[in-house]
Amino acid sequence: MMIIAIDGPAASGKGTLAKRIADLWGLPCLDTGLLYRAVARNVGARGFKLNDVWAALAAARSLDPSELCDPALRGPKAGDGASIVARIPEVRAALLAYQRAFAGQPGGAVLDGRDIGTVVCPAADAKIYVTARPDVRAKRRYNEYIARSEPVTYEVILHDILKRDERDASRESAPMRPAQDACLLDTSDLDIEAAFDAAVGLIKRKIGQ
Ligand code: DC
């Protein structure tokens, strides 16, 4: 059984790395940001404000994991909304059991998010905290959205990323930060292949392979 925790800020490359690492070791992979994105989307769809604790908690409790496949969750608005509901401790608590059960599958799992190494899986076998300079992250996200024909500008994305970093890192409940025993990986000057090789090297060293 092997649990791998991948954390880091928006558009750091952690999602792509998590999937490739999961494929390499044949493990299931959970993008935990999708849980918060789906909660935010459902709160809005039911006509409530994102900071409405009761509505957000109800949405978290009634979340159906099959909703996580919806490509609309990956758009820019969903990310910002997710960061708002993610500040609510009751929402985080309601999503914890699902994340821990996912991690506890036979064989283990790869999870990516903001608090996997610190809160969700503090005993993970390997923890990586992926970072990249904000301008690099904004450019990556911009290219992704353009490829999907989302109407966005680089400036708006950079602004959103900086705002989200600040909100995710400064909240009281499970703030975004590297676990004490996490390996830091700065992908600013690495392409995906180089970042993947570096991440695999860090994990192998950690698990003694
Ligand atoms: O990884 P992402 O961009 O899809 O995450 C969207 C938001 O969800 C992020 O800004 C903060 C929140 N989030 C969180 O608080 N904890 C996690 N483990 C994952 C995401």
Fold of 2-198: Rossmann fold (3.40.50)
160 lines ligand 1 (CB under 6 A): no
Tell me the per-residue pLDDT of 108-154, one tens digit each, with 9 for 90 and over: 999 999 999 999 999 999 999 999 999 999 999 999 989 988 889 99
Residue length, the chain?
Answer: 209
pLDDT digits (tens, 9 = 90+) for 149-202: 888 999 999 999 999 999 999 999 999 999 999 999 999 999 999 999 999 999
Ligand 1 centroid – CA 209 distance (Å): 30
Residue type, 78: A
Dihedral sign, Cα of residue 203, residue 71, residue 8, residue 138: positive
Each domain of the chain, given as residue ranges in start order, spans 2-198
- CA torsion 103-16-76-32 (nearest 10°) is 0
- CA-nearest residue for atom 18, ligand 1, is 113
Residue nearest (by alpha carbon) to ligand 1 atom 5: 33
Contact between residue 157 and residue 76 where contact means Cβ atoms under 8 Å apart: yes
